[in-house]
A and B are shown apart, each in its own frame.
Chain A
Amino acid sequence: LAKTTQPISMDSYEGQEVNITCSHNNIATNDYITWYQQFPSQGPRFIIQGYKTKVTNEVASLFIPADRKSSTLSLPRVSLSDTAVYYCLVGVRKTGANNLFFGTGTRLTVIP
């Protein structure tokens, strides 16, 4: 299984850019990297997914180096409402296993 490692927690001031890095040293060739956001008492919400290089959408960017052994979720100009737990998952749905196991996640606290 492609285990992921993230920092347990991070603090940031409002308006700053936040970068959360995830390590996945044994990522497989067919694995995608997916990031989720979870608020208390809610299901995880999909943020972004990528395979290599850089992916950007309306809420975040995902940077993946050439060796794909890590990835960085970038949240531009965070606000208080971005306080949540962020999880990175690695895997492919069809093969099942890797994409289903959550690590500890990173608890982001945005400070006014």
Chain B
Amino acid sequence: GAVVSQHPSWVICKSGTSVKIECRSLDFQATTMFWYRQFPKQSLMLMATSNEGSKATYEQGVEKDKFLINHASLTLSTLTVTSAHPEDSSFYICSASPSETQYFGPGTRLLVL
């Protein structure tokens, strides 16, 4: 199957700082990537759709100015959590799809102190 990677796998930061998470499709090109967030013991929640060369589409309730998404190439999307606060601590997962099937990255654990 297709491979999606994320970096970093985990990050700890101070409250008020910004954190960037990268999502890469390693063996296929993806014009669209998706960002999810998952809190402990809960399901994945779609945050936004990242579109190569255009603005991201955010789900209702997700602040676009807080979660900046950039999809600069066909293999890379980045999610920047700006002015992070402890409530932003979560597991962030990206996905991409070369066909009808979505493939997910390994996730990034963010802890904001």
Contact = CB atoms under 8 A, between A and B. Distances in A.
Interface of A: 32, 34, 36, 41-46, 49, 87, 89, 92-93, 96, 99-105
B53 to A, nearest CB: 17
B100 interface: yes
B46 A44 contact: no
Contact of B43 (A43, A46, A87, A92): A87
B43 A105 contact: yes
Contact of A102 (B4, B44, B101): B44
A46 B1 contact: yes
Q: Which label, helix, strand, loop or mixed, suits the secondary structure of the B interface?
A: strand
B43 A44 contact: no
B44 A44 contact: yes
Given A100-B46, A102-B43, A105-B43, A41 B107 contact: yes
Interface in B1-15: 1, 4, 6
20 contacts: A34-B101, A36-B104, A42-B106, A43-B4, A43-B6, A43-B104, A43-B106, A43-B107, A44-B95, A44-B104, A49-B100, A92-B100, A93-B99, A93-B102, A96-B32, A99-B100, A100-B102, A102-B36, A102-B43, A102-B46
